[in-house]
């Protein structure tokens, strides 16, 4: 009898807790919140994400179809709003209460990516100014990209047409460009330190950390398996951070204000001239460099990898690209940014590629910095906002046959390139737009054009291109 009473008491307590949680959630839910799928007590919609696995994008698409352009989900005790729109100016914050993000910034600092308010504005301003002063958008950067393109083609020439996995080579290309800008030097692709650096960066961004349950139920961090997974992610960044610390120490020791060699020297100069010694620390500098690597390496190399794969899948597009280059400049020299206006079809292919395969389909999480309206609904302050770039880029209201790879959609009747005017945000949206956008566009145009100029890409015999990607921090082939 006592055992029965005890079990009844436990059941009563559990029922009370569930009812209390449901009631609390109902009472604290703001009015006019975007609709969304019902969730379970404590976990919200988390089980749906776990069940979806690699089908996360398909699940989000189903919810957009059911609930509209804006919908709300709950993940543990956190509310997230997915938006299929770029029409709001409230998306300028970054979430600091996601466990993995919080743990990472505790170890490596906030940098530009995760800082807020005046600190973010100042770091972003100085970073962009420093990149501009060092040659962003100028001839010096273009020449570095061309030199690196020659290095890539040298590797391909040595292979003499044998099958090759392009992704590691493309990652070396983008990483070396960032290294040349930041440290004033490039590495041989076989350099063991450089290979370790690119491997660690690839490993870090391949982890699908955004939707890990521990981000939304922080009590899970005590579970050994979860703790180990988070630590693997942190360790990858810490290894890069430790390597950067050594390079920065060398720069500090050899710094000459009258001989600025690279981005790091300019940053050191700015930090010594600034009165804010808490902002311009060595730790923050390393974190900013990590942000630049994240913005300018893995994302761009992944896009280039997709471009090669799509040229294999669409040989007619590849032939038309080659024909355009042959007619404009042949093979007498490498393409330059000055050729861009004369290569409208190449430009259309790059634009369509970024539409069809946005590298971060749900972007980097934002936070509403104030209460605002999105799609007629109220989004409370501090709500996590996920701009669903993949859905924006395939909205049938904006795009005819959105699931078809068709570069011609960006050409007018005379064959001139027509840039997209609306609902096209491959580099995210709002004030938090990608730091590496200008560099990425130069990388993509010069290397893709150079590869198509001198090579034809085909699949190894007996294999077919797989155009379904893998969801990590980036969406990779």
* Beta strand pairing call for 372-374 and 377-379: antiparallel
Q: How far is CA 449 from the centre of its chain?
A: 23
CA 266 – CA 209 distance, rounded (Å): 33
Helix, strand, or coil here: 73? strand
Q: Which helix (H) or strand (E) holds 209?
A: none
CA 199 – CA 164 distance, rounded (Å): 17
CA 458 – CA 370 distance, rounded (Å): 51
Instruction: Output the DSSP codes for 431-477.
Output: GG--TTHHHHHHHHHHHHHHHHHH----PPTT-------EESSSEE-
Report phi then psi at 224, rounded to 5.
-55, -45
Q: Is 434 annotated as a binding residue?
A: yes
Report phi then psi at 367, rounded to 5.
-130, 135
The residues that bridge with 366 in the sheet, in sequence order, are 385
In this structure, what token pair is assigned to residue 216? 């939304």
- Residue ranges of the annotated binding site for heme are 434
- Residue ranges of the annotated binding site are 434
């Amino acid at each position: 009898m006592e055992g029965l009473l005890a079990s009844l008491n436990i059941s009563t307590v559990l029922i009370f807790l569930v009812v209390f949680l449901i009631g609390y959630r109902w009472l604290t839910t703001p009015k006019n919140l975007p609709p969304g799928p019902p969730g379970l007590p404590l976990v919200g919609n988390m089980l749906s994400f776990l069940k979806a696995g690699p089908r996360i994008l398909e699940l989000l698409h189903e919810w957009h179809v059911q609930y509209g352009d804006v919908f709300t989900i709950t993940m543990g005790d956190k509310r997230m709003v997915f938006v299929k729109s770029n029409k709001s100016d409230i998306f300028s914050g970054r979430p600091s209460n996601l466990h993995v993000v919080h743990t990472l910034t505790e170890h490596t600092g906030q940098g530009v990516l995760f800082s807020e308010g005046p600190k973010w504005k100042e770091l972003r301003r100085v970073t962009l100014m420093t990149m501009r002063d060092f040659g962003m958008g100028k001839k010096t950067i273009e020449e570095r990209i061309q030199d690196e393109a020659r290095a890539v083609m040298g590797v391909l020439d040595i292979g003499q047409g044998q099958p090759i996995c392009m992704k590691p080579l493309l990652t070396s290309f983008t990483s070396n460009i960032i290294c040349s800008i930041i440290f004033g030097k490039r590495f041989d692709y076989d350099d063991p330190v450089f290979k370790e650096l690119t491997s660690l960066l690839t490993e870090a961004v391949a982890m699908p950390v955004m939707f890990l349950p521990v981000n939304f139920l922080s009590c899970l961090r005590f579970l050994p398996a979860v703790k180990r997974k988070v630590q693997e992610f942190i360790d990858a960044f810490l290894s890069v951070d430790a390597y950067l610390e050594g390079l920065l120490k060398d720069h500090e020791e050899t710094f000459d204000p009258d001989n600025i060699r690279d981005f790091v020297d300019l940053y050191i100069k700015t930090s010594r001239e600034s009165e804010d010694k808490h902002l311009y620390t060595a730790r923050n500098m390393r974190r900013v460099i990590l942000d630049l690597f994240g913005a300018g390496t893995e994302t761009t190399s992944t896009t280039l990898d997709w471009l090669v794969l799509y040229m294999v899948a669409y040989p007619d597009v590849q032939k038309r690209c080659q024909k355009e280059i042959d007619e404009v400049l042949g093979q007498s020299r490498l393409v330059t940014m000055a050729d861009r206006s004369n290569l409208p079809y190449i430009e259309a292919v790059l634009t369509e590629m970024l539409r069809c395969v946005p590298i971060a389909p749900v972007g980097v999480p934002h936070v509403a910095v104030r209460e605002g309206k999105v799609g007629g609904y109220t989004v409370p302050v501090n709500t996590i906002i996920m701009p669903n770039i993949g859905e924006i880029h395939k909205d049938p209201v904006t795009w005819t046959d959105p699931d078809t790879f068709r570069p011609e959609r960006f050409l007018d009747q005379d064959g001139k390139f027509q840039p997209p005017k609306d609902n096209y945000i491959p580099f995210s949206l709002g004030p938090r737009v990608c730091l590496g956008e200008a560099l990425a566009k130069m990388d993509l145009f010069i290397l893709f054009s150079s590869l198509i100029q001198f090579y034809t890409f085909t699949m190894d015999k007996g294999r077919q291109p797989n155009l379904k990607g893998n969801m990590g921090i980036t969406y990779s082939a």
